[in-house]
Structure 1
């Protein structure tokens, strides 16, 4: 994703060579982005294997998100939340191959959106995206980026976890990825994207020559977290508050084991989410991985400490929420900041997201599982902190040359980060609101179930499947898989997983 400049003369090749892929054993040559000066980069089996593994690890994050959301919800909505995460994987995968990747990463588009040059991923093979990701074959780059696109819309449903309908969500998913995620990913990561070229935007638009000096976002603070957080806010406004009477509500988090398991899978996958964004097994990838886990650890301890001071209790939900807040906050800066700075990211991220959750509750905003409070707020905060703590030497671990952040005297970077995060937030909220409002007007595609179905729960009313069944203690009549299991009398509150 980053600007690559060849500094070592032995890595340069003659500029008289064609600006095309040149094979040299296990090494391929690509033009770099510094005025067309080429350099040699390893793009053989090692880089392909690295990103294949990273893609598989990031894939696990979406099921992990489903477990996390299902555990935090009431049991009557648990299956639905897992289902919508898996639907996101399937729907977005097809969209990504057909035209999503092309819109997000084609290299001959405008400053705002790609074109259909790579629609269907036709003629993909060993060749690379010479300006955007010159060090890896484009087919594995597309595969890796597919996992980012798959999890992003799934995050949105945490804001409305117990009051959305599955059918309209299946229509919402591909539309949202197409006109929100893909353009924002293009702005941020494509070689010609306007956020990536903020300092030379006018000349880039006129000459189509990118400079690569603009907003920093290593792994998706804007395209993934800010977009999903503010889309969740739009969803909240369209649907309104929950209608289940407070007196009838069970404790919201029904299964803490799912919450911890989901958190563990997300934390595990985030090593690949951030570390893999280096696109090669370099010291910069290792740096991104360590700052990721350090930020998560410091944010979780911060959240737990605040809750203990306020409630004199240690909360598992608080710990897991802190982990996610720290991971979100460090995402844009993971390839730019030093390990000591990631502790600051975690502490400030934990404090800010905790405060956001409580301000949200005070204002009466029904952000059910805190998607906006953690991902929206955390994504913006992480972008701003990246503008402060980005360091030249960290980026140079893989040969990338940057101007650094305020810590290196580059104060204009703060303006770039603020501009980028603000533009993404406004765009995502406005377009998401328009999409949801329009879908809600289509017959049979109303976004919210009626009050009776909402009270009964989405699992039984929308899927006719349940996660748990309540049976009499000592009953010999229960048979797992029986069609009559939901009709058994309730004598004791004993839950049997099925």
Structure 2
């Protein structure tokens, strides 16, 4: 066992886990003061719930082994509860549980991302029910499509269909190094579905809902960026040159996206904002996630500029089309994930269109991106609708106006005392 790689992987997993509390601050600062506890609790609820489900059966669905990979959805029953993974095989670079830990943090952050679309108006219990069902029938299988890198069986390699299935069909597999499809497009599509199911907030209009605490937003963005180095570099599963390239690109792309977002804000609204800087950095981080190991740093900067500018414009789509994506999960994660995934079809080292003259890489990127989008959106819409029709997903308008924190959690984020 390589103790260096083991330590690397466990540290990267801890960094990725920190992203979810970072997301709680990022989202918490963006909502109304009367909803900040509710918003942050949905992230912390995801940590507790998905952490348990991943150990019980999530890993067994996402990484089912050779016999399960012929089917689109299956379970490795021997991995239920992880008892079969306690021993490290001879010659393994790291213990199986180190990989289990790393992938668990991806499942947690993906579910937590969705919650930003339903801020200010969702019941916590209904959110937890949704999170459990969606993780089970959407995230865990999609993680298998994308992150299950395959096992050898004689002369044939089994693996997730977006990688090995595409390789067999088109000669090249999908490039998604750290989860542009499985994490960001997946969460963004589900967020759009829930925004439609729950409907608009009271008084929804452009400029009606402003962030109550921009310093929280900046703190959250900083924690997210810090953890994202683990997200992207750690996906190499080894401390090597590819991890170093991913690290540099995880610096370059969001830095460029931050600048591009601020420039768009200055042109559109006359003032660059702190929330814009934070949002731009996150948009760049989203876009570079699938591409961080497959671009030169120069092309990573170009990707960041494109993502920052396009996502800054995309967040206004909700006003144009009339859906209330409270914290712009669609405009940043869905749009940014699509940009990063499709960008590889043009600029991926070796196989991108500008290098090979062959559009096949772009084709397989598009197939994977829109397959995940449709699968996640449809199932999230069905799950959300069933919850809304049964136990109720949205609080009443009166409770929304009174404040979700007090009504749902019996707490206030800020106590104003007079002497």
TM-score (norm 1): 0.78
Per-residue Cα deviation, 1:74-110 (whole angstroms, up to 9, x for no partner): 1100011111101100100110011100100122213
Could you tell me which runs of 5 or more consecutive residues in structure 2 were left unpaired when the two chains were aligned: 151-158
Partner of 1:377: 335
The offset of 1:417, in angstroms, is 0.0
Shift, 1:123, TM fit:
2.3
Q: Between Structure 1 and Structure 2, whose CA radius of gyration is higher?
A: 1
> In structure 2, which of residues 84, 95, 100 is the aligned counterpart of residue 123 of structure 1?
84
Note the residue ranges of structure 1 that are not aligned, 5 or more in a row: 1-42, 203-210, 393-403, 476-498
Secondary structure of the residue aligned to 2:84 is coil
Does residue 437 (structure 1) correspond to residue 389 (structure 2)? The answer is no
User: How far apart are the structure 1 equivalents of 2:135 and 2:359?
Assistant: 33
Instruction: Quote the residue 2:364 is aligned against.
Output: 416
In the alignment, which residue of structure 1 is the partner of 2:156?
none
1:388 pairs with one of 342, 346, 367: 346
Q: How many residues align?
A: 406
Q: How does 1:56-135 map to 2 (within 5 A)?
A: 56-108=14-66, 109-111=68-70, 112-116=72-76, 117-127=78-88, 135=93
* CA distance in structure 2 between the partners assigned to 1:385 and 1:260 by the alignment: 28
TM-superposed deviation, 1:129: 12
- The match for 1:219 is 178
1:273 aligns with 2:231: yes
**Contact between 1:307 and 1:315, CA under 8 Å: does it hold in 2?**
yes
Higher relative contact order (CA 8 A, sep 6+): 2
Structure 2 SS opposite 1:106? coil
Q: Deviations over 1:243-285 (max 9, x none)?
A: 24779x9752111110110000001000000010000100100
In the alignment, which residue of structure 2 is the partner of 1:7?
none
Cα distance in structure 2, aligned partners of 1:56 and 1:88: 16
- Rate the CA distance shift 1:245–1:235 in 2: closer, same or farther, 3 A: closer
Kindly indicate whether the alpha-carbon contact (under 8 Å) linking 1:107 and 1:129 is maintained by their aligned counterparts in 2. Answer: no
Which residue in 2 is equivalent to 1:235? Answer: 194
In the TM superposition, what is the alpha-carbon distance from 1:126 to its structure 2 partner? Answer: 4.8
What is the CA–CA distance in structure 1 between the aligned matches of 2:36 and 2:167, rounded to whole Å? Answer: 48
Structure-2 change in CA distance of 1:195 and 1:251 (3 Å): closer
- Runs of 4+ with deviation above 3 angstroms: 125-130, 198-202, 244-247
Deviation string 1:348-378 (CA, Å, 9 cap, x unpaired) is 1112111211232233221110001110111
The answer to whether the Cα contact below 8 Å between 1:227 and 1:424 also exists between their aligned partners in 2 is yes
**Aligned position for 1:467:** 413
| TM-score normalised by structure 2 residue count | 0.93
8 Å Cα contact 2:2-2:93 kept in structure 1: no
More helix by share: 2
Any conservation in 2 of the 1:102–1:119 contact (CA below 8 Å)?
Answer: yes
Change (3 A) 1:455 1:128: farther
CA-atom RMSD, angstroms?
2.0
